[in-house]
């Protein structure tokens, strides 16, 4: 009987925890991404449904040419260089310290950036929301600008190289087939 009670408490605790996690995730929504009419512009609307005001909105990106923060907010680009990490990752952060600019319960703010549309591709990534009390929330799968992969950048070059290599192999095989075979002891002897 004691074991069943413990299992029941564990189950209730897990359900309460899961409900709390879903409640936290539902506190803030982030909508938007690449604008169809302007592929170089990304805009997100952050809406706060929780009690804690939002003081920061950040996300990883490829390359930003400019930003349009809401009134009272500042934009900064943070470069995260890690030893042994090939290349560098960048984060964009919109933040505020002004009480009138905070995103309070029921309020929304729109954040925009300008990218190089020819070099960036639309991808999915996380957004990190920071609240006034210092807690953070990660919202997954928002549309972000990201750099083309190494393979995608070089796909045409790799394809042309493969076609050239195939052409060379075909020429070698053709050359081997066209050579006359040497005859061994097939000649007539003069008497």
pLDDT in tens, 77-88: 887 654 544 445
Given this model, what pLDDT does residue 132 score?
Answer: 95
Given this model, what pLDDT does residue 25 score?
Answer: 52
**Both tokens assigned to 171:** 């020429």
Given this model, what pLDDT does residue 65 score?
Answer: 84
When pLDDT is averaged across residues 172-185 and rounded to a whole number, the result is 70
**Which tens digits make up the pLDDT trace of 28-40?**
999 998 888 887 8
Q: Are 55 and 131 contacting, i.e. CB atoms less than 8 angstroms apart?
A: yes
Global model pTM greater than 0.75: no
Q: Which CATH class is domain 29-148?
A: mainly beta
The mean of the pLDDT values for the chain is 77
Question: CA-to-CA distance for 189 and 76, rounded, in angstroms?
Answer: 94
- 21 pLDDT above the threshold of 90: no
Q: Lowest mean pLDDT: which of 16-20, 47-51, 181-185?
A: 16-20
Q: Are 103 and 53 contacting, i.e. CB atoms less than 8 angstroms apart?
A: yes
- 161 pLDDT above the threshold of 80: yes
Q: Are 34 and 80 contacting, i.e. CB atoms less than 8 angstroms apart?
A: no
**Both tokens assigned to 115:** 């990218």
């Amino acid at each position: 009987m004691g074991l069943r009670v413990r299992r029941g408490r564990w189950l209730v605790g897990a359900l309460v925890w899961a409900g709390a996690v879903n409640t936290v995730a539902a506190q803030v929504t982030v909508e938007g991404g690449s604008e169809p009419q302007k592929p170089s512009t990304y805009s997100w609307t952050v809406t706060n449904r929780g009690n804690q005001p939002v003081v920061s909105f950040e996300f990883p990106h490829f390359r930003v040419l400019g930003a349009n923060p809401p009134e009272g907010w500042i934009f900064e680009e943070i470069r995260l260089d890690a030893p042994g990490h090939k290349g560098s990752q960048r984060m964009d952060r919109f933040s505020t310290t002004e009480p009138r600019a905070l995103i309070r319960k029921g309020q929304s703010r729109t954040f925009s950036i300008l990218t190089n549309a020819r070099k960036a591709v639309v991808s999915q990534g996380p957004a990190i929301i920071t609240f006034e009390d210092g807690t953070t929330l990660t919202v997954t799968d928002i549309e972000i600008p990201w750099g083309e992969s190494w393979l995608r950048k070089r796909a045409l070059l790799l394809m042309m190289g493969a076609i050239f290599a195939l052409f060379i192999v075909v020429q070698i095989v053709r050359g081997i087939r066209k050579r006359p075979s040497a005859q061994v002891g097939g000649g007539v002897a003069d008497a």
